[in-house]
Amino acid sequence: MISSKEEYYYYLKEDMKSHNIKKWKFKYKYTIPNLYFQRLLRKCEYYKNCRKDFFGRIAFLFLQFRFLKVSVKLGLTIPLNVFGPGLSIAHYGSIVVNGKSSVGKNCRIHSATNIGEGKNGCPRIGNNVYISPGAKIFGGIIIGDNVKIGANAVVNADVPDDVSVGGIPAKVISRRKKIM
């Protein structure tokens, strides 16, 4: 969660790095709309969390309106303060995330993905997680670090670190060997 201006810039830098872009250019607003969405997301998070003054609240309301407009246009339902730095939205369209979920740093998420609430709560997803197109993740589960979730997988149970999962319901397909 962004709690200072320095963190805001750090999040922006990491998000850009996840898209292999070194410097923001105005044309990206139209050529890479999912990255523009991410910049608005981060700006809204900064104003909501850090700017409690009168002008900060007015700016937040304006930004929130723009953010929601772009969100509807791209088909992305991603609430504030869910994703850590290094978020990479590979393709826009039909990504739905519950606001009570939490996702660590360096997450790459594809279209037609759903991260939702189940009986036991919302998922907590670790760092360096790759979520393939069509994946469904729900329930009060914990997904470890360095996990790859296969296309159209339905994840409704805890997933350990350093594995790839797939299927309905998702099962471990392979394990990564740790290099010492």
Query: What pLDDT is recorded for position 177?
Result: 73
- What one-letter code names the amino acid at 13? K
- pLDDT at residue 1 in the model: 87
Q: Which residues pair with 83 in a beta bridge?
A: 103
Alpha carbon distances (Å) from 100 to 103, 117, 125, 167 = 10, 8, 12, 25
In this prediction, residue 4 carries a pLDDT of: 94
Q: What is the pLDDT of residue 125?
A: 96
pLDDT recorded at residue 2: 93
CA 124, 126, 128, 129 torsion-angle sign: negative
Neighbour-count burial of 5, counting CB atoms closer than 10 A to its CB (0-12 exposed, 13-18 middle, 19+ buried): exposed
Q: Residues in the chain with pLDDT < 70?
A: 178-180
Cβ neighbours, 10 Å, residue 127? 17
Concatenating the DSSP letter of every residue in 74-97 gives: HTEE--TT-B-SS-EE-S-S-EEE
User: In the prediction, which pLDDT does 178 show?
Assistant: 65
**76 bridge partner residues:** 95
pLDDT of residue 179: 56
Residue 30: both structure tokens together: 């139209």
For the domain bounded by 94-175, which CATH number is listed? 2.160.10.10
Q: What are phi and psi of 127, to 5 degrees?
A: -90, 155
Residue-range domain boundaries for the chain: 5-76, 94-175
C-alpha 39: how far from its chain's center?
Answer: 12
Quote the tokens at residue 167.
């299927």
Does the global pTM surpass 0.75? yes
For residue 173, the model assigns a pLDDT of 93
159: phi then psi, degrees, rounded to nearest 5: -125, 125
